[in-house]
Amino acid sequence: MRTIDWAGDAVELVDQTLLPGECAVIRVGTVDGLIDAIRRLAVRGAPALGVAGALGVALAAATEPDPAAAAARLRAARPTAVNLAWGVDEALKHLDEGFEAVLGRALEIRDADIAACHAMGERGADLVCELTGRDRPRIMTVCNTGGLAAVERGTALGVVQTLHERGRLAGAIALETRPLLQGARLTAWELGRMGAPYRLIVDSAGPFLLARGEADAVLIGADRIAANGDTANKIGSYALALGARRAGVPFVVVAPESTVDLATPSGDLVEIEDRDPEEVLGVRGVRLAPEGAAVLNPAFDVTPRDLITAIVTERRVIRPDRGETP
């Protein structure tokens, strides 16, 4: 199954807002429809957003009177994952050559993502066994970094999948990932489909369970890796990194090269998306907080480089804890 693909004259994507109850594919034939799908997280996860951005420029080339203006709107649909802007920019380089050239570049980006996730899975699985000194490590992870966050296979959850396929996964612990529950809804669904052993926890249990020795490594994805190695990822990642450091557990970022943003010197310069207060005030339309409650809802946080043991990409392993930078 592909999370996102081109289908003749439209983008097809799995509507992730419906999972795990329903696995439905929707067709999106306009740039504004794609922007809406990105904003409501029907398609989400940094690598998938990169492919969406590139395919969206193909849609713009085919349907928009001013494709460059439409691409600029698409590029700004969500601010934190650099992959979206990267995918748009890569496809835009071919706009003057016409629709077929733009689509060709977008399909290359799709195919490169599939290959990159396989490579990260292999490299990451080897590294985790080496760092933990375990043949069958136990992995903690946050948000959803599986095939649903990419095209076919994921980043951090791709490493978990590779370990499982090698018969080397002792177990996964997935944080539920409030407020939108990507861990409970999507990661648990993917781990179940893999047949991998897993347990789901509330986000606030993560650091304590690390202190209690319940996981051998923390693996996360990334939305943007700054030039100095600081890493923006789903809210809750920073707390896990602090807990991992205190517990002496390796904290590993798994992300494609397209997530590395050398134009952003450090994490404090990454724009963090603040989302709708309604996401915090209740769960899926059921109001929990009292009327008048004020909300802070940052969708991402930044883990400083000194808390990161390693960054794994499809090409290399970077060791921020040894002073290496991307």
Nearest distance, CB of residue 28 and ligand MRU, angstroms: 17
Alpha helices per DSSP H over 212-315: 237-247, 278-281
CB nearer ligand MRU, residue 45 or residue 320? 45
How many beta carbons lie within 10 A of that of residue 325, not counting itself?
16
Alpha-carbon gap, residue 91 to 271, rounded angstroms: 23
Cβ burial 208-244 (10 Å sphere, 16+ → b, else e):
ebbeeebbbbbbbbbbbbbbbbbbbbbbbbbbbbbbb
Helices (H), the chain: 31-39, 46-63, 67-75, 82-92, 99-132, 156-165, 182, 188-194, 206-211, 237-247, 278-281
For residues 255 and 287, the answer to whether their CB atoms sit within 8 Å is: no
Task: Determine if residue 233 is labeled as part of a ligand binding site.
Answer: yes
Among 154, 183, 236, 267, binds ligand MRU (CB under 6 A): 154
44 binds ligand MRU (CB under 6 A): yes
Task: Tell which one of 102, 210, 253, 299 touches ligand MRU (CB under 6 A).
Answer: 299
Active-site residue flag, 89: no
CA distances from 317 to 36, 95, 311 (A): 35, 34, 6
| Alpha-carbon distances, residue 64 vs 9, 29, 99, 207 (angstroms) | 13, 11, 11, 48
Q: Is 46 annotated as a binding residue?
A: yes
By three-state DSSP, how is residue 215 classified? coil
- Of the two residues 134 and 178, which places its CB atom closer to ligand MRU in the complex? 178
Return the ∠ at Cα 209 (arms to 296 and 197), rounded to 5°: 105
185 is in an annotated binding site: no
Which of these segments, 37-45, 67-75, 129-137, 287-295, binds ligand MRU (CB under 6 A)?
37-45
Mask 75-114, x = binds ligand MRU (CB under 6 A)? ------x---------------------------------
For ligand MRU, which stretch binds (CB under 6 A), given 38-46, 62-70, 103-111, 210-218? 38-46
User: Rounded to whole angstroms, how far apart are CA atoms 100 and 142?
Assistant: 38
Helix (H) or strand (E) holding 138: strand 138-141
Considering the complex, state which of residue 45 and residue 56 has its C-beta at the smaller distance from ligand MRU: 45
What is the footprint of ligand MRU within residues 211-230 (CB under 6 A)?
Answer: 221-223
Answer yes or no whether residue 234 interacts with ligand MRU by CB under 6 A: yes
CA distance 257 to 326: 9
Establish whether 78 is an annotated binding residue: yes
Does 149 contact ligand MRU by CB under 6 A? yes
H/E run at residue 13: strand 11-14
Nearer to ligand MRU among residue 237 and residue 309 (C-beta): 237
- Position with the least CB separation from ligand MRU: 221
The active-site residue, picked from 113, 203, 223, 261, is 223
- Is 240 a binding residue for ligand MRU by CB under 6 A? The answer is no
What is the nearest approach in angstroms of ligand MRU to the Cβ of residue 258?
Answer: 11
Count of residues near ligand MRU by CB under 6 A: 19
Q: Is 74 in the site for ligand MRU (CB under 6 A)?
A: no
Q: Which of the residues are catalytic?
A: 223
Enumerate binding residues for ligand MRU (CB under 6 A).
41, 44-47, 81, 143, 145, 149-150, 154-155, 182, 221-223, 233-234, 299
Summarize the annotated binding site as residue ranges.
44-46, 78, 182, 233-234
